[in-house]
Every structure is written in structure tokens, then in C-alpha cells.
Amino acid sequence: MVDTYIVAEIGTSHRGDDALARELIHAARDAGADCAKFQYVIADEIVHPATGTVALPGGATALYERFRALEQPQQFYERLLEACRLADMDFLCTPFGVSSARALREIGPSAVKIASPELNHTELLHEVAGYGLPLIISSGVSKLCDIEYALSVTDRQRVTLLHCITAYPAPEEEYNLRLIPALREILGVPVGLSDHSEHPELVPGLAAALGATVVEKHFTLSREGTGLDDPIAMDPTMFTRMAATVRRVDAIRSSDPDEGSRKVIREFEKEYGASRVEAVLGTGVKRLSAREAGSYWTTRRSLLAVRDLPAGHVLRGEDIAPLRSETLKPGLEPRFAATVVGARLQKPLDSGEGLSWEHLLMRSRPLR
């Protein structure tokens, strides 16, 4: 029987309020979700204090300060897990660095979620790969080589990949849903969907028709709320429509394994128009979407200085961090951290500046 796993991405919409968190969990359950997902935010693991203001769905936001305001103690996440257990909901949470991952592990989750910008966060991937837990990894703002790299670091036997477009909201016509079966075939892992499009049913329903094992969508009590993702999240009515559509698609595919998917696509074509459906299905070729292309280097992780460093300084591990650069100039990929530690700077590196090869005088090695 086909049974798509439905995740309500609550994120930080609880605003640190236990009662609101419980209300969100129960509302997500009643709307048809199997799982409530949260975000374990530690600001210094995500962006540099000098990041400044970023345009988000809710308006211009001082990003570092907003993340600081969203930080909660470990005990809060323990209460979230218990609230999910009492509501008969699965608990899922996204860490953004090694510290939050280790704190999350102490809580005892049954799985860990990695967000799209952390697809190249080498240290975090190695950390969670060592837990022996199932991993759900989103793949927005990525190229095929980025996904292959993440799978090479983690245990792909434990990974479910989520196709995603990292834009808020994401244009439905950029979703290229034929990537779901294509990535499954190329990479040999289950593939689902993390959806940021605005329509409650079109993208999730078609994704389920193409065999998505997971459908994740942001969830809130009200799109007028003050949560970071509330303006693009589904409210309970919208999420209920989405979940009902996914379950209907599941039923059609279960009753007719050979033709069920094509039946669903034809049904959607009648309801939404063949050209609109075809635009959402796309080519099945993995490339950055139009909305993602301009933020590829700044959304993903790169090595930034976390203090002012003079020319001649020998780099230490604590001098740099793998952060989302956002408004700042990005640096080298995090996978090069072990290579550059011990190298000497040939010119100053300011706090918040991306580390480049041009900054370095590499360690000399004897010729053999």
C-alpha cells in the first residue's frame, strides 16, 4: 500500500511558547500530518553577526538578531518531543551545526533532518552520520554534484532525499517534479518533496503521483502570524486540503499500481490545465532553478572568519566557521577546512569575510 509520509514543518512558529507549540502539534495532527518538525536554532551556527538585514517573506529582517531571539534551551526541545509523543505524532528536528546536533541527539530523536543550506556542511554531515539514525536531507539550491557529495559523507542506506526549491515562496513552475523519480534512479535513495509553493494541492499531489515518499510543507496556525515562515506556511485549512489530496493520490496509486500515477496526472490536467501541470512536472534534469541561481553561493555554507585576522597569522580551527554568508562575501567550501588550518595568511582577513585561496600562503611540504 502506498502511504506518503506527511511532515508539518512547524519550524520556529512556536516562538518558544510551550502552549503554542502544543497547539501547533495538535492542529498539525488534526490536519493530517504524521510528523511535526522543528528547528534547533543556535544563531552562531548559522550566520555571522555582521550579516545585517535580509529580505524574507515577512519583510526585511536583521537575520542574526532574529536567530538569537529564536534560541531555546535543550529542555524546550525535550518538551516538544514529549508533546509529540502524547499527541501520537512523530518528532523531527533540524540542527544547524555540531552543537545543536549533539544537543538534539541527547534528546533521543528517531531521525534527524538536514536543511538544504547545510548540504555542504561537512562537519555537520559527518557528525549526524555517526549517530546511526535515519537522515532526511533536503536538496534545495544544489547541483547534482552537491547531493552526491552529501551522500558520500553520510550513510546513504539511511538517507531519504527531499527535492526542494529554496525560495519563499517557490514558483510552482520551477519545481521540476520529474526529478523525484530521476534522482531516485540516479542516486539509489528514496526521494520525497519539501514544498515551498503556495498552492496547497498542486505540487504536493503531483509529487505523490510521481512516487514521493515524503511530503513536507510549512505549517502555522495563521499566515498572519509573526513566525519567521508564517507568511508562506499552510494554515490548518490549507494543510488539510494538501493532506487529503496526497492521501487520495496514495489511494489511486495503491488501487492501480501500473496506471495510477498517469490517472492522477490526467486528473490534474483536467482540473488545472495541461500546460500548468506540464510546467510543474518539468524536464527531470537537475539544475538550479531560476530563483535559486543567484543565491547559490550565499545560501549554502562557506568558510567565514569569525574574528579579525592580520596578515601573517597562522589559521586555527577556531578562526573560521562554516556559515551561510547571505549578505557577506562567501568563502571556500567547508570541505577545505582541514586543508587551510595551519596555513599562513598573506593578507588580512576581516571578521565576516569569506576565506579565499588568495588569502593564504600554504604550508610548505618537502619535495620527495
Here the cell at position 353 is: 569575510
Q: Which DSSP helix (H) or strand (E) runs through 81?
A: helix 74-86
* C-beta of residue 298 within 8 angstroms of C-beta of residue 352: no
**Going by C-beta distance under 8 Å and a sequence separation of 6 or more, which residues neighbour residue 104?**
40, 77, 93, 95, 112
367 pLDDT higher than 50: no
Distance CA 8, CA 219 (A): 5
Domain ranges in the chain? 5-292, 300-361
Per residue in 11-23, pLDDT (tens digit) is: 999 999 999 999 9
The CATH code of domain 300-361 reads 3.90.1210.10
Report cis status (omega within 30 of 0) of the bond before 169: yes
DSSP state of 360: E
Question: Per-residue pLDDT averaged across 334-340, rounded?
Answer: 96
Per residue in 46-97, pLDDT (tens digit) is: 999 999 999 888 888 999 999 999 999 999 999 999 999 999 999 999 999 9
Here the cell at position 67 is: 536567530
Instruction: For domain 5-292, give the fold.
Output: TIM Barrel (3.20.20)
pTM of the model: 0.95
Locate the DSSP E strands across 96-202. Answer: 112-114, 135-138, 159-164, 191-195
Question: Per-residue pLDDT averaged across 101-123, rounded?
Answer: 98
